[in-house]
Homo-oligomer: A and B are copies of this chain.
Amino acid sequence: MMDITGTYTDQYQLAMGQVYFLSGRKDQTAVFDYFFRKNPFKGGYTVFAGLHELLKVLEKLRFDAEDLSFLRFQGMHPDFLAYLKGFRFQGTIHACREGDLVFPTRPVVRVEAPLIEAQLIETLLLNMLNFQSLIATKASRMQRVAQGRTLIDFGLRRAQGLGGYHASRAAVIGGFAATSNVRAARDFGLAPSGTMAHSFIQSCADELTAFRQFAEGWPDNCVLLVDTYDTLKSGVPNAITVGKEMARRGHRLKAIRLDSGDLAYLAQRSRAMLDAAGLHDVKIAASNQLDEYVIKSLLEQEAPIDLFGVGTNLVTGQPDAALDGVYKLAAVDGQPLIKISENVEKITLPHAKQVFRAFNGEGRFLGADAVGIAGEPPITMMHHPFMPHKSFPLADCPLEPLLTPVMKQGRIVADSPDLPAIADFCRSRLALLPAEYQRFENPHIYKVGISTRLRDARDRLIAEHKS
């Protein structure tokens, strides 16, 4: 879709990169963690998305001729420019599986690379993972309340510019079945979906003529928009007329779409009218400013809606608009590092780390992820990161390591699952997450603790900084 080049970054990465280069530090080995501090939407979990798109871009990332000429014009050092000309990302990345459920404060991705390379990719990594994780999470919340109804992404016209492209991909990971976004459908193998706008009805002599013309053009995929003039007095009766005509010709009217007014009321009345006409298998689609709360409310009112088309609130991740993911340095040349902060929750964790998910006796998530130093012996006890007296025994729990190698020396080593497989994985993980973490109001907080070794290593570094 887009030729992402080396300049898809923040200026300060290049400014630092030049200093790393000129001071001879570029090949120091750095370890960076990607994590976030808060689940979006006041929710209890986040769906991790964007990984395989990121890896594909990283494998091919180059500074092209335009990049180099721009940077030369900006006064970058000639030797650094020569380095950038040959730039390849050659780092190693461990990550959670795309589609997994992830929780605040612990590493979701670990990047080990020459310092300069790890720095230059930071912005790209954050840009892709933050946004797609936000949207996949939003989508999964709608999927949770949709009671098996079909969810369709209608968001491109209100998306944040080109951002709509990956929004449609992420929506499918979170449980959406299809998208109106044809380009995203083309590139990501999604099902495109959509039928008619009000303009089509307006452009015809009358609504019935418009419906007939559309049914003729799309005899096997005909969804009629019924609210252009008057939903119950004109739209639905005309749709019934055309639905019967189609049936006589051996076709089937697939659905009607409601796009304004009281959707619960109109769906009930429309369903009754369709059923009375014998059109029991004509479905009802609804759209218009939907989000997870409206969908939940509509279904609580037993609105007979079969398909929901969701636009703005899905693809822009309203009301949050951004996941607050960060990328923090944890070690250089094997030396563990922390960032001190007066806010203890913002003190980072040193070392290359692994994360383990604890399971309960029934094979579901226990509600605890433990972060340890990569390679340390099995963790038997995890500690609250900041409260010394809170700890939690893990000796009897099955633990699953979450960070697995996905890229080695710049080459993708993980299988690249297709989107349905990522969406399936997401669904399977949600099935393992107890309901109290999934509810919208004051969800349970998923515990994230640290191993004894990691805690001690961090506390030593804090003490060193203080002295």
Contacts and interface: CB of A to CB of B under 8 A. Distances in A.
Nearest to A25: B203
A161 B346 CA distance: 25
13 contacts: A10-B157, A16-B199, A18-B217, A19-B218, A66-B186, A70-B182, A159-B322, A161-B163, A161-B166, A199-B329, A203-B332, A260-B346, A318-B322
A99 to B, nearest CB: 17
Counted per complex, copies of this chain come to 2
Given A199-B328, A229-B340, 6 more contacts: A11-B192, A19-B200, A202-B329, A203-B329, A260-B346, A312-B324
Interface stretch (A126-134, A269-277, A391-399, A404-412): A126-134
Interface string A316-345: 111101111001110010000111111100
A82 interface: no
Given A3-B1, A66-B186, A163-B162, A157 B18 contact: no
The 6 closest A-B pairs by CB, nearest first: A163-B163, A11-B194, A12-B194, A160-B163, A162-B162, A19-B217
Nearest to A166: B161
A137 interface: no
A5 interface: yes
Nearest to A18: B217
A167 interface: yes
A198 interface: yes
Contacts of A323: 158
Interface string A113-142: 001000100110011101110000000000
Q: Which of A3, A322, A343 has the most CB of B within 10 A?
A: A322
Given A200-B19, A218-B15, A160 B131 contact: yes
A15 B199 contact: no
A156 B12 CA distance: 12
Contact of A67 (B132, B186, B218, B229): B186
A131 B154 contact: no
A181 B339 contact: no
B154 A161 contact: no
Chain A interface residue bracket vs B: 35 or more
Contacts of A157: 10, 122-123, 126-127, 130
A32 interface: yes
A447 interface: no
A1 B8 CA distance: 10
Interface in A141-166: 154, 156-166
A101 interface: no
A197 interface: yes
Contacts of A71: 182
Contact of A154 (B10, B218, B337, B340): B10
B160 A196 contact: no
Given A316-B160, A321-B312, A8 B130 contact: no
B195 A15 contact: yes
Nearest to A200: B16
